[in-house]
Structure 1
Amino acid sequence: MSVDPSSKPRNETEHERLDRQLMELLQGFRVATTGVQVLFAFLLTVPFSKGFAQVDDTGRALFYVALFGAALASICFIAPVFQHRILFQLNKKALLIQRANRFGIIGAFALAVSITASTTLIVQTLAAEAAAIGAAVAVLALCGWAWFVQPYLTRLSAEGRAERRESS
């Protein structure tokens, strides 16, 4: 039987732990930012495409929600990098990590909204209204589950195990 890795100490100093956490956050943002950049670039070209004039008011509203969602996600995923540059060598790494985590969660919400609105706009343009609603529900549910609900449930479970260990 193997030992649970979370029960093993890392033998790292507070500074090493903060360095590792910041690098892990920034690496995650690099992955997310690439996806956001592709989506945002696509959305920036949509109004200049031939068929955009035929998009109805609902489609235009979906477009704006998607566009501003992608813009907000971009801002949130990029903000920790610039804050790190500006606050460099001021011994504010713990604060940067806390802020980066918050920006990441807000950015993920904005990205989920943008992906949902973009997908819904495309499906609405190509198929029936019911298909667009189904696509919106499916995409939002998948983003919600994979990005928020599942990790939150895991967090609750892990915290419950830790509390039981402490009370034993």
Structure 2
Amino acid sequence: MAGRGQDVRPDGRDETVDERADRRWGELLQELRVAQTGMQILFGFLLAVVFQPRFAELNDIDHAIFVITVGFGAATVGALVGPVSLHRLVSGKDFKPQTVTIASRMTLVGLLLLFCTMVMVFLLILRVALHDTLAFWLVGVMAMWIAVWWFGIPLWARHRAHRMPRR
């Protein structure tokens, strides 16, 4: 039998609510490190593009794609850094389990925005490189590829895990 504050879950973990929150927070931090690093590099690239000589040669559509892409990039940085700010502002307020849940949702929003940012960057690059409609087809294929790996397979695995009998 579990002790005070213990919660033996169907997955067999014997941990308190606070221990589970600490474990989940540590896991989330590891995920955020990967996403934040990649996004910071991508956003730095986007910020530098406007200062390149060829930027002035882009047509109005490509300029609009660039502006939308930078907007997605800024929103992504905000969403992926948001969990850190959340944790800092509520740290020590006996709010850890709720903080982890909110931060997890913020991270998912950040990943969706990162997906949009990457698709738009790919679109801009291929439009400049190819100058034809092939760019849209290639971007569509790549968007589906990323969506399958980032969202499709994880959602399939989640669905499958819920259908599997517990240990």
Q: CA deviation at 1:105?
A: 1.1
Q: 1:87 corresponds to which residue?
A: 90
Amino acid at match of 1:74: V
Is the deviation greater in 145-154 or in 30-39? 145-154
- Pick the aligned partner of 2:63 from 60, 64, 74: 60
Matched, 1:12 2:15: yes
- 8 Å CA contact 1:124–1:132 kept in 2: the answer is yes
Amino acid at match of 1:70: G
The answer to whether the 8 Å contact 1:65/1:113 transfers is: no
Deviations 1:114-152 (A, max 9, x none): 111111111110113223112211221122111111111
**Structure 2 unaligned blocks of 5 or more:** 1-8
Instruction: For residue 83 of structure 1, give the secondary structure of its aligned residue in structure 2.
Output: helix
Contact 2:32 2:107 in 1 (8 A): yes
**What's the secondary structure of 2:93's corresponding residue?**
coil
Say whether the 8 Å CA contact 2:69–2:120 is kept in structure 1: yes
Give distance in 1, aligned partners of 2:52 and 2:134: 23
Is the Cα contact below 8 Å between 2:83 and 2:103 reproduced in 1?
yes
Displacement of 1:153: 1.2
Report if the CA contact (8 A) 2:36-2:81 is conserved: yes
Instruction: Supply the RMSD in Å over aligned alpha carbons.
Output: 1.9
Letter of the 1:58 counterpart: I
State which drifts further: 124-133 or 39-48. Answer: 124-133
Q: What is aligned with 1:49?
A: 52
Q: Which runs of 5 or more structure 1 residues have no equivalent in the other structure?
A: 1-5
Measured after TM superposition, the shift of residue 45 of structure 1 is 1.0
What percent of counterpart residues are identical?
A: 30
Correspondence for 2:110 among 98, 107, 111: 107
Change (3 A) 1:129 1:145: same
Read off the aligned partner of 1:148 and give its amino acid letter. Answer: F
1:12 Cα deviation after fit: 2.1
The residue aligned with 1:158 is 161
> Given that residues 80 and 103 in structure 1 are in contact (C-alpha distance below 8 angstroms), is that contact kept between their aligned partners in structure 2?
yes
More helix by share: 1
- In 1, are the aligned partners of 2:39 and 2:77 still within 8 Å (CA)? yes
After TM superposition, the score normalised by the length of structure 1 is 0.88
**Which residue of 1 is the match for residue 79 of structure 2?**
76
In the TM superposition, what whole-angstrom CA distance separates every residue of 1:71-129 from its partner, at most 9, and x where no partner exists? 11111111111111110111111111111111111111111111111111111101132
| CA distance in 2 between partners of 1:65 and 1:114 (Å) | 9
Provide the aligned length of Structure 1 versus Structure 2.
Answer: 159
Q: Check whether the contact 2:77–2:110 (CA below 8 A) recurs between aligned residues.
A: yes
Q: Secondary structure at the match of 1:12?
A: strand
Separation in 1, partners of 2:161, 2:115:
25
Distance 1:156 1:8, change over 3 A: closer
Deviation at 1:20, TM superposition (A): 0.5
